[in-house]
Amino acid sequence: MNRALIFAGGTGQRMGEASLPKQFLSAYSKPIIVHTVEHFQNCEAIDSIVVVCLKDYIPYMNELVARYKLTKTVSVVCGGDNGQASIFNGLKELVRLYGQDNDDIVLIHDGVRPLIDEKLISDNIECVKANGNSITVSKAIETIVLLNGDTVDKVMDRKYCNVAKAPQCFYLKDIYANHLRAIEEGKLDFIDSAMLMQYYGAKIHTVGCSAENLKITTPLDYYLFKAILDARENEQIKLL
């Protein structure tokens, strides 16, 4: 079975004066988190969804689940102190619901990364089946430099550079076991699931995506998201 873990536990501090956490801001009359979850809801390969959410917004998230008929969402759980802790809470809920003595695949995805599609979800699932794990990446479109203080230490060759995105996908039993190991060892600040898995010896495999698979973190990201939706809507109108 294939499970989606959507984490939306951030407070959106980089969104400036937004009245709501970024995942609940509206675009095209729907909150961003609903745009995101709907991709997994509508994907035939996905069997169930767990959403990790800010504690105070759990009732509202449950209301959105009912309003938009997100019927594959089986649970909404509380986030943790950081991304790693929030993901662990979602994994723990999946293990509670389905156990870990199976070959369930979990697709870990940002609640504020709403520009994905069914093919990207399916490609990641197939990569896990073939290689044991999968993370989504897009090619770097600008030159990346490593800094030493305020000076450039190294200019990276762009053809070798990619940007890690989501979903990031693993066998549930593998990622859960490594989260438990990290907690036991007091390693609580991994940037993402790929970094955690690689630290414990996994060779990470990739699936490519377009630069449109953006994470809505700043006001600019929000405006880009709305512009892409506008462009897609206009394209549909032209085709009619």
CA-to-CA dists, residue 177 to 13, 96, 122, 204, angstroms: 31, 14, 24, 16
Whether the bond into 167 is cis, omega within 30 of 0: yes
**Is the distance from CB of 143 to CB of 150 less than 8 angstroms?**
no
Question: Percentage of the chain surpassing pLDDT 70?
Answer: 93
Task: Give the pLDDT confidence of 177-194 residue by residue, as tens digits.
Answer: 999 999 999 999 999 999
Pair of tokens at residue 122: 């399916």
Q: Say whether domain 2-136+165-239 belongs to CATH 3.30.1490.20.
A: no
Looking at residue 239, what is its pLDDT? 47
More confident residue, 112 or 141: 112
Q: Is 62 helix (H, G, I), strand (E, B) or coil?
A: helix
Q: Is 64 helix (H, G, I), strand (E, B) or coil?
A: helix
Domain boundaries, the chain: 2-136+165-239
Please report where in the chains the tokens 């991304």 appear, as a residue: 83
In the structure, what pLDDT confidence band is assigned to residue 208 with cuts at 50, 70 and 90?
very high
pLDDT(67) > 80: yes
Rg (CA), the chain: 18
**156-176 mean pLDDT:** 93
pLDDT(240) > 80: no
In the structure, what pLDDT confidence band is assigned to residue 18 with cuts at 50, 70 and 90?
low
